[in-house]
Amino acid sequence: MKLAERMTNLGQETAFQVLVKARELEAQGRDVVHLEVGEPDFDTPAHIIEAACHALQSGATHYGPSAGLPELRQAVADDVSKSRGIKVNPKQVVVVPGGKPIMFFTLLALAGPGDEVIYPNPGFPIYESMIHFVGAKAVPLPLAEEKEFCSNIEELRGKITPRTKLIIINSPHNPCGSVLCREDLEAIAELAIKHDITVLADEIYGRILYEGEFVSITQFPGMQERTIILDGFSKTYAMTGWRLGYGVMTEALAEQMTKLMSNSNSCTATFTQLAGVAALKGPQEESYKMVAAFKERRDLIVNGLNSIPGIHCVMPKGAFYVFPNVKEVIKRGRFANSKALADHLLGEAGVALMSGTAFGQYGEGYLRLSYANSIPNLKKALERISEAVAKLG
Ligand SMILES: Cc1ncc(COP(=O)(O)O)c(C=O)c1O
Protein backbone atom coordinates (compact mmCIF):
# COMPACT_ATOMS: atom_id res chain seq x y z
CA MET A 1 0.00 0.00 0.00
CA LYS A 2 1.47 3.35 -0.99
CA LEU A 3 0.83 6.04 1.59
CA ALA A 4 -0.04 9.59 0.69
CA GLU A 5 2.96 11.92 0.56
CA ARG A 6 1.72 13.93 3.55
CA MET A 7 2.21 10.97 5.90
CA THR A 8 5.97 11.41 5.67
CA ASN A 9 5.53 14.78 7.41
CA LEU A 10 3.78 13.42 10.46
CA GLY A 11 5.72 13.26 13.73
CA GLN A 12 4.83 11.58 17.00
CA GLU A 13 4.65 12.05 20.72
CA THR A 14 7.57 9.88 21.77
CA ALA A 15 6.44 9.71 25.42
CA PHE A 16 4.13 6.90 24.37
CA GLN A 17 7.04 5.02 22.74
CA VAL A 18 9.11 5.32 25.93
CA LEU A 19 6.10 4.05 27.87
CA VAL A 20 5.94 0.97 25.60
CA LYS A 21 9.67 0.30 26.16
CA ALA A 22 9.23 0.70 29.92
CA ARG A 23 6.28 -1.71 29.90
CA GLU A 24 8.41 -4.29 28.04
CA LEU A 25 11.03 -4.08 30.80
CA GLU A 26 8.30 -4.47 33.41
CA ALA A 27 7.00 -7.56 31.60
CA GLN A 28 10.53 -9.01 32.04
CA GLY A 29 10.23 -8.45 35.80
CA ARG A 30 12.08 -5.10 36.06
CA ASP A 31 10.87 -2.35 38.35
CA VAL A 32 10.50 0.96 36.50
CA VAL A 33 9.61 4.42 37.87
CA HIS A 34 7.47 6.21 35.31
CA LEU A 35 8.39 9.84 34.80
CA GLU A 36 7.78 9.88 31.06
CA VAL A 37 4.09 10.47 30.38
CA GLY A 38 2.53 13.84 31.22
CA GLU A 39 -0.61 13.04 33.11
CA PRO A 40 -1.75 13.55 36.69
CA ASP A 41 -1.46 10.36 38.75
CA PHE A 42 -4.66 11.31 40.61
CA ASP A 43 -8.08 9.89 39.83
CA THR A 44 -10.77 12.10 38.35
CA PRO A 45 -12.72 13.69 41.25
CA ALA A 46 -15.69 11.52 42.31
CA HIS A 47 -18.42 14.11 41.61
CA ILE A 48 -17.30 14.30 37.96
CA ILE A 49 -17.45 10.52 37.59
CA GLU A 50 -20.89 10.51 39.19
CA ALA A 51 -22.09 13.17 36.74
CA ALA A 52 -20.93 11.01 33.82
CA CYS A 53 -22.67 7.89 35.23
CA HIS A 54 -25.84 9.87 35.79
CA ALA A 55 -25.65 11.26 32.24
CA LEU A 56 -25.28 7.76 30.78
CA GLN A 57 -28.18 6.45 32.82
CA SER A 58 -30.30 9.42 31.75
CA GLY A 59 -29.82 8.65 28.06
CA ALA A 60 -26.93 10.95 27.08
CA THR A 61 -25.79 8.28 24.65
CA HIS A 62 -26.71 9.96 21.37
CA TYR A 63 -25.04 12.34 18.94
CA GLY A 64 -24.86 15.94 20.04
CA PRO A 65 -24.18 19.20 18.19
CA SER A 66 -20.75 19.29 16.50
CA ALA A 67 -19.65 22.43 18.36
CA GLY A 68 -20.59 20.93 21.73
CA LEU A 69 -23.63 20.76 24.01
CA PRO A 70 -25.09 24.22 24.71
CA GLU A 71 -24.77 23.72 28.48
CA LEU A 72 -21.04 22.94 28.21
CA ARG A 73 -20.37 25.78 25.75
CA GLN A 74 -22.10 28.12 28.20
CA ALA A 75 -20.16 26.73 31.19
CA VAL A 76 -16.86 27.11 29.29
CA ALA A 77 -17.75 30.66 28.19
CA ASP A 78 -18.52 31.61 31.81
CA ASP A 79 -15.39 29.94 33.15
CA VAL A 80 -13.04 31.42 30.54
CA SER A 81 -14.61 34.88 30.96
CA LYS A 82 -13.97 34.70 34.70
CA SER A 83 -10.51 33.11 34.67
CA ARG A 84 -9.11 35.40 31.93
CA GLY A 85 -11.08 38.55 32.76
CA ILE A 86 -12.50 38.74 29.22
CA LYS A 87 -15.97 38.48 27.73
CA VAL A 88 -16.67 35.20 25.94
CA ASN A 89 -20.01 34.08 24.53
CA PRO A 90 -20.88 30.40 23.96
CA LYS A 91 -20.77 30.78 20.17
CA GLN A 92 -17.03 31.35 20.50
CA VAL A 93 -16.53 27.95 22.12
CA VAL A 94 -15.90 24.70 20.22
CA VAL A 95 -15.82 21.53 22.32
CA VAL A 96 -13.50 18.79 21.03
CA PRO A 97 -12.17 15.41 22.19
CA GLY A 98 -9.13 16.63 24.20
CA GLY A 99 -6.99 19.73 23.83
CA LYS A 100 -4.96 18.30 20.94
CA PRO A 101 -7.63 18.60 18.21
CA ILE A 102 -7.57 22.39 18.70
CA MET A 103 -3.93 22.39 17.55
CA PHE A 104 -4.78 20.27 14.54
CA PHE A 105 -7.91 22.22 13.62
CA THR A 106 -6.22 25.61 14.08
CA LEU A 107 -3.44 24.62 11.72
CA LEU A 108 -5.82 23.01 9.23
CA ALA A 109 -8.01 26.10 9.25
CA LEU A 110 -5.30 28.75 9.11
CA ALA A 111 -2.01 27.48 7.71
CA GLY A 112 -0.92 25.83 4.48
CA PRO A 113 1.90 25.78 1.94
CA GLY A 114 3.65 29.15 1.81
CA ASP A 115 2.68 30.07 5.39
CA GLU A 116 5.09 30.17 8.31
CA VAL A 117 4.26 29.20 11.86
CA ILE A 118 6.48 30.17 14.80
CA TYR A 119 6.43 27.72 17.70
CA PRO A 120 8.41 27.16 20.91
CA ASN A 121 11.32 24.71 20.73
CA PRO A 122 11.67 22.84 23.02
CA GLY A 123 7.91 22.53 22.93
CA PHE A 124 4.99 20.14 22.75
CA PRO A 125 6.03 17.89 19.81
CA ILE A 126 2.64 17.92 18.13
CA TYR A 127 2.99 21.62 17.15
CA GLU A 128 5.92 20.89 14.85
CA SER A 129 4.38 17.67 13.57
CA MET A 130 1.09 19.33 12.66
CA ILE A 131 2.75 22.37 11.08
CA HIS A 132 4.66 20.01 8.77
CA PHE A 133 1.55 17.94 8.12
CA VAL A 134 -0.46 20.90 6.82
CA GLY A 135 2.45 21.81 4.54
CA ALA A 136 3.40 25.06 6.30
CA LYS A 137 6.94 26.04 7.28
CA ALA A 138 7.83 25.36 10.92
CA VAL A 139 9.89 28.21 12.38
CA PRO A 140 11.27 27.24 15.80
CA LEU A 141 11.66 29.85 18.51
CA PRO A 142 14.43 28.48 20.78
CA LEU A 143 13.77 28.69 24.51
CA ALA A 144 16.98 29.07 26.50
CA GLU A 145 17.81 28.04 30.05
CA GLU A 146 19.45 31.45 30.62
CA LYS A 147 16.03 33.05 30.07
CA GLU A 148 14.41 30.42 32.31
CA PHE A 149 12.93 28.93 29.13
CA CYS A 150 10.76 31.97 28.34
CA SER A 151 10.49 33.44 24.83
CA ASN A 152 13.27 35.75 23.73
CA ILE A 153 11.25 38.64 22.31
CA GLU A 154 14.12 40.03 20.22
CA GLU A 155 14.63 36.63 18.64
CA LEU A 156 10.89 36.34 18.01
CA ARG A 157 10.91 39.72 16.28
CA GLY A 158 13.66 38.47 13.98
CA LYS A 159 11.68 35.36 13.01
CA ILE A 160 8.63 37.25 11.79
CA THR A 161 8.30 37.60 8.01
CA PRO A 162 5.41 38.71 5.76
CA ARG A 163 4.51 35.00 5.53
CA THR A 164 4.13 34.47 9.29
CA LYS A 165 0.56 33.33 9.79
CA LEU A 166 0.54 32.04 13.31
CA ILE A 167 2.55 32.20 16.53
CA ILE A 168 2.06 29.35 19.00
CA ILE A 169 2.66 30.10 22.67
CA ASN A 170 2.34 27.75 25.60
CA SER A 171 2.30 28.96 29.20
CA PRO A 172 2.74 27.24 31.63
CA HIS A 173 4.98 25.30 29.33
CA ASN A 174 5.51 21.67 28.48
CA PRO A 175 8.33 20.49 28.74
CA CYS A 176 10.05 23.32 30.66
CA GLY A 177 7.43 24.40 33.23
CA SER A 178 8.18 28.04 32.37
CA VAL A 179 5.51 30.75 32.61
CA LEU A 180 5.40 33.76 30.30
CA CYS A 181 5.39 37.00 32.27
CA ARG A 182 2.98 39.88 31.59
CA GLU A 183 5.66 42.00 29.86
CA ASP A 184 6.62 39.21 27.45
CA LEU A 185 2.99 38.48 26.61
CA GLU A 186 2.37 42.16 26.01
CA ALA A 187 5.37 42.31 23.68
CA ILE A 188 4.12 39.25 21.77
CA ALA A 189 0.67 40.84 21.53
CA GLU A 190 2.18 44.03 20.09
CA LEU A 191 4.06 42.05 17.46
CA ALA A 192 0.98 40.00 16.56
CA ILE A 193 -1.10 43.14 16.06
CA LYS A 194 1.61 45.02 14.18
CA HIS A 195 2.17 42.15 11.72
CA ASP A 196 -1.43 40.89 11.62
CA ILE A 197 -0.60 37.45 13.00
CA THR A 198 -2.96 35.03 14.73
CA VAL A 199 -1.91 33.49 18.07
CA LEU A 200 -2.64 29.99 19.30
CA ALA A 201 -2.40 30.24 23.10
CA ASP A 202 -2.06 26.78 24.60
CA GLU A 203 -3.27 27.42 28.16
CA ILE A 204 -3.93 23.80 29.12
CA TYR A 205 -1.72 24.14 32.24
CA GLY A 206 -3.16 27.55 33.16
CA ARG A 207 -4.34 26.39 36.57
CA ILE A 208 -1.25 24.38 37.41
CA LEU A 209 0.72 27.36 38.59
CA TYR A 210 2.89 27.64 41.73
CA GLU A 211 4.21 31.18 41.60
CA GLY A 212 3.13 34.45 40.11
CA GLU A 213 -0.08 35.10 38.24
CA PHE A 214 -1.60 33.45 35.21
CA VAL A 215 -1.87 35.94 32.37
CA SER A 216 -3.67 35.13 29.13
CA ILE A 217 -2.59 36.98 26.00
CA THR A 218 -6.30 37.55 25.32
CA GLN A 219 -6.29 40.15 28.11
CA PHE A 220 -4.40 42.67 25.97
CA PRO A 221 -6.47 45.04 23.84
CA GLY A 222 -7.04 43.76 20.31
CA MET A 223 -5.90 40.22 21.14
CA GLN A 224 -9.11 38.35 21.80
CA GLU A 225 -10.11 38.69 18.16
CA ARG A 226 -6.82 37.23 16.92
CA THR A 227 -6.27 34.47 19.49
CA ILE A 228 -7.41 30.89 19.79
CA ILE A 229 -7.28 29.70 23.40
CA LEU A 230 -6.62 25.97 23.74
CA ASP A 231 -7.72 24.51 27.06
CA GLY A 232 -9.34 21.39 28.42
CA PHE A 233 -10.04 19.07 31.28
CA SER A 234 -7.16 16.57 30.96
CA LYS A 235 -4.70 18.21 33.33
CA THR A 236 -6.78 20.44 35.62
CA TYR A 237 -9.30 17.72 36.51
CA ALA A 238 -7.14 14.62 35.93
CA MET A 239 -9.29 13.61 32.95
CA THR A 240 -6.70 12.61 30.32
CA GLY A 241 -8.58 9.45 29.32
CA TRP A 242 -11.93 11.17 28.95
CA ARG A 243 -10.84 13.15 25.90
CA LEU A 244 -12.44 16.50 26.57
CA GLY A 245 -11.09 19.89 25.58
CA TYR A 246 -12.11 23.11 23.89
CA GLY A 247 -11.03 26.12 21.93
CA VAL A 248 -12.18 29.72 22.36
CA MET A 249 -11.94 31.92 19.25
CA THR A 250 -13.91 34.35 17.11
CA GLU A 251 -17.41 33.26 16.18
CA ALA A 252 -16.41 33.15 12.50
CA LEU A 253 -13.48 30.80 13.16
CA ALA A 254 -15.64 28.73 15.55
CA GLU A 255 -18.00 28.05 12.64
CA GLN A 256 -15.09 26.78 10.54
CA MET A 257 -13.77 24.60 13.37
CA THR A 258 -17.25 23.21 13.85
CA LYS A 259 -17.13 22.12 10.20
CA LEU A 260 -13.83 20.36 10.90
CA MET A 261 -15.46 18.66 13.90
CA SER A 262 -18.43 17.55 11.83
CA ASN A 263 -16.09 16.14 9.18
CA SER A 264 -13.86 14.29 11.64
CA ASN A 265 -15.64 13.36 14.89
CA SER A 266 -19.29 14.42 14.38
CA CYS A 267 -19.26 15.50 18.04
CA THR A 268 -17.51 14.94 21.36
CA ALA A 269 -19.06 12.16 23.51
CA THR A 270 -22.16 13.66 25.11
CA PHE A 271 -21.95 12.06 28.57
CA THR A 272 -18.33 13.19 28.78
CA GLN A 273 -19.42 16.75 28.05
CA LEU A 274 -22.00 16.60 30.86
CA ALA A 275 -19.21 15.47 33.18
CA GLY A 276 -17.32 18.55 31.96
CA VAL A 277 -20.19 20.78 33.07
CA ALA A 278 -19.96 19.20 36.54
CA ALA A 279 -16.19 19.75 36.55
CA LEU A 280 -16.49 23.47 35.78
CA LYS A 281 -19.49 24.21 37.96
CA GLY A 282 -18.82 21.87 40.87
CA PRO A 283 -16.37 22.13 43.78
CA GLN A 284 -12.77 22.91 42.78
CA GLU A 285 -11.09 21.65 45.98
CA GLU A 286 -9.75 18.42 44.44
CA SER A 287 -8.10 20.42 41.71
CA TYR A 288 -6.48 22.78 44.24
CA LYS A 289 -5.28 19.80 46.27
CA MET A 290 -3.63 18.32 43.19
CA VAL A 291 -1.77 21.55 42.52
CA ALA A 292 -0.59 21.71 46.16
CA ALA A 293 0.66 18.12 45.88
CA PHE A 294 2.46 18.89 42.61
CA LYS A 295 4.18 21.86 44.25
CA GLU A 296 5.58 19.70 47.04
CA ARG A 297 6.82 17.19 44.45
CA ARG A 298 8.34 19.94 42.32
CA ASP A 299 10.40 21.19 45.26
CA LEU A 300 11.53 17.66 46.05
CA ILE A 301 12.59 16.79 42.51
CA VAL A 302 14.29 20.12 41.74
CA ASN A 303 16.30 20.03 44.98
CA GLY A 304 17.09 16.34 44.46
CA LEU A 305 18.30 16.87 40.88
CA ASN A 306 20.36 19.92 41.82
CA SER A 307 22.15 17.88 44.48
CA ILE A 308 23.46 15.43 41.83
CA PRO A 309 26.88 16.58 40.54
CA GLY A 310 26.65 17.49 36.85
CA ILE A 311 22.92 18.22 36.81
CA HIS A 312 21.43 21.69 36.94
CA CYS A 313 17.69 22.22 37.11
CA VAL A 314 15.78 25.51 36.83
CA MET A 315 12.86 25.81 39.27
CA PRO A 316 9.73 25.69 37.07
CA LYS A 317 6.77 27.93 37.92
CA GLY A 318 3.97 25.80 36.48
CA ALA A 319 2.82 22.52 34.82
CA PHE A 320 4.32 19.30 36.26
CA TYR A 321 7.61 18.94 34.41
CA VAL A 322 11.27 19.65 35.08
CA PHE A 323 13.82 20.15 32.33
CA PRO A 324 17.27 19.62 33.86
CA ASN A 325 20.51 20.44 32.09
CA VAL A 326 22.55 17.22 31.86
CA LYS A 327 25.28 18.34 29.46
CA GLU A 328 28.07 17.55 31.93
CA VAL A 329 26.67 14.05 32.58
CA ILE A 330 26.46 13.38 28.85
CA LYS A 331 30.09 14.40 28.49
CA ARG A 332 31.28 12.44 31.50
CA GLY A 333 29.47 9.27 30.40
CA ARG A 334 30.54 9.75 26.76
CA PHE A 335 26.95 9.46 25.61
CA ALA A 336 26.25 10.46 22.03
CA ASN A 337 23.39 12.74 23.10
CA SER A 338 20.48 13.26 25.55
CA LYS A 339 18.52 10.40 23.98
CA ALA A 340 21.40 7.97 24.70
CA LEU A 341 21.48 9.13 28.33
CA ALA A 342 17.68 8.78 28.63
CA ASP A 343 17.93 5.22 27.20
CA HIS A 344 20.73 4.43 29.67
CA LEU A 345 18.69 5.68 32.64
CA LEU A 346 15.76 3.49 31.60
CA GLY A 347 17.84 0.38 30.85
CA GLU A 348 20.35 0.65 33.71
CA ALA A 349 18.49 2.54 36.42
CA GLY A 350 14.85 1.70 35.70
CA VAL A 351 13.77 5.33 35.41
CA ALA A 352 11.60 6.11 32.38
CA LEU A 353 12.02 9.74 31.35
CA MET A 354 12.26 11.75 28.15
CA SER A 355 15.20 13.09 26.22
CA GLY A 356 14.93 16.86 25.78
CA THR A 357 15.12 16.28 22.03
CA ALA A 358 11.71 14.57 22.13
CA PHE A 359 10.56 18.22 22.27
CA GLY A 360 12.67 19.55 19.43
CA GLN A 361 16.31 20.00 18.49
CA TYR A 362 16.88 22.80 21.04
CA GLY A 363 16.19 20.26 23.80
CA GLU A 364 19.62 18.66 23.26
CA GLY A 365 21.56 18.57 26.54
CA TYR A 366 18.41 18.26 28.66
CA LEU A 367 16.00 15.63 29.98
CA ARG A 368 12.32 15.99 30.78
CA LEU A 369 10.88 14.39 33.87
CA SER A 370 7.20 14.48 34.72
CA TYR A 371 6.80 14.69 38.50
CA ALA A 372 3.14 13.69 38.43
CA ASN A 373 4.08 10.66 40.50
CA SER A 374 4.10 9.86 44.23
CA ILE A 375 6.75 11.23 46.62
CA PRO A 376 8.12 7.71 47.37
CA ASN A 377 8.46 7.03 43.62
CA LEU A 378 10.14 10.37 43.03
CA LYS A 379 12.60 9.64 45.87
CA LYS A 380 13.30 6.23 44.35
CA ALA A 381 13.89 7.79 40.92
CA LEU A 382 16.25 10.41 42.38
CA GLU A 383 18.27 7.74 44.20
CA ARG A 384 18.52 5.65 41.05
CA ILE A 385 19.55 8.58 38.85
CA SER A 386 22.10 9.69 41.45
CA GLU A 387 23.63 6.18 41.62
CA ALA A 388 23.67 5.79 37.83
CA VAL A 389 25.37 9.18 37.41
CA ALA A 390 27.91 8.42 40.18
CA LYS A 391 28.89 5.19 38.36
CA LEU A 392 29.92 7.23 35.32
CA GLY A 393 32.95 8.39 37.31
C1 LIG B 1 1.16 21.70 26.09
C2 LIG B 1 0.08 20.70 25.86
N3 LIG B 1 -0.97 21.03 25.13
C4 LIG B 1 -1.97 20.17 24.86
C5 LIG B 1 -1.93 18.88 25.35
C6 LIG B 1 -3.01 17.92 24.95
O7 LIG B 1 -3.91 17.66 25.92
P8 LIG B 1 -5.06 16.59 25.71
O9 LIG B 1 -4.60 15.32 26.34
O10 LIG B 1 -6.25 17.19 26.39
O11 LIG B 1 -5.31 16.42 24.25
C12 LIG B 1 -0.86 18.48 26.14
C13 LIG B 1 -0.79 17.10 26.66
O14 LIG B 1 0.19 16.62 27.14
C15 LIG B 1 0.17 19.42 26.41
O16 LIG B 1 1.23 19.09 27.16
Residue 100 CA to ligand 1 centre (angstroms): 6
- The DSSP secondary structure of 50-107, one letter per residue, reads HHHHHHHHTT--S---TT--HHHHHHHHHHHHHHHTS---GGGEEEESSSHHHHHHHH
The three-point CA angle 372-374-379 to 5° equals: 110
Q: What's the confidence (pLDDT) of residue 107? A: 98
Residue 7 CA to ligand 1 centre (angstroms): 22
Closest-CA residue to 272 (of 108, 56, 58, 57): 56
pTM comes to: 0.97
- CA 276, CA 52: separation in Å to the nearest integer? 9
Q: What's the confidence (pLDDT) of residue 262? A: 98
Residue 99 CA to ligand 1 centre (angstroms): 6
Q: Whose CA is nearest to atom 13 of ligand 1?
A: 38
H helical segments located in the chain: 15-27, 46-57, 70-84, 100-110, 125-133, 153-159, 182-194, 251-264, 270-281, 285-306, 327-332, 338-349, 375-390
Closest-CA residue to 103 (of 137, 134, 126, 132): 126
The three-point CA angle 85-86-87 to 5° equals: 135
Q: What's the confidence (pLDDT) of residue 161? A: 98
Q: Which of 174, 239, 243, 244 to mutate to test the pocket of ligand 1 (most atoms within 8 A of CB)?
A: 174
Residues with CB under 6 A from ligand 1: 38, 98-100, 124, 170, 174, 202, 204, 232, 234, 240, 245
Residue 126 CA to ligand 1 centre (angstroms): 9
Residue 393 CA to ligand 1 centre (angstroms): 38
Q: Which of 95, 100, 173, 272 to mutate to test the pocket of ligand 1 (most atoms within 8 A of CB)?
A: 100
* Three-state secondary structure call for residue 381: helix
Q: Whose CA is nearest to atom 7 of ligand 1?
A: 99
Q: What's the confidence (pLDDT) of residue 393? A: 77
Rounded to 5 degrees, φ, ψ at 245 are -150, 180
Q: Which is it for strands 33-34 and 351-352: parallel, antiparallel or unpaired? A: parallel
Residue 392 CA to ligand 1 centre (angstroms): 35
Residue 241 CA to ligand 1 centre (angstroms): 12
Q: Whose CA is nearest to atom 16 of ligand 1?
A: 174
- CA 194, CA 201: separation in Å to the nearest integer? 18
Per-residue pLDDT of the chain (393 residues; tens, 9 = 90+): 999 999 999 998 888 899 999 999 999 999 999 999 888 999 999 999 999 999 999 999 999 999 999 999 999 999 999 999 999 999 999 999 999 999 999 999 999 999 999 999 999 999 999 999 999 999 999 999 999 999 899 999 999 999 999 999 999 999 999 999 999 999 999 999 999 999 999 999 999 999 988 999 999 999 999 999 999 999 999 999 999 999 999 999 999 999 999 999 999 999 999 999 999 999 999 999 999 999 999 999 999 999 999 999 999 999 999 999 999 999 999 999 999 999 999 999 999 999 999 999 999 999 999 999 999 999 999 999 999 999 997
Closest-CA residue to 98 (of 252, 248, 204): 204
Q: Residue 101 CA: which ligand 1 atom is closest? A: 11
Closest-CA residue to 261 (of 378, 104, 137): 104
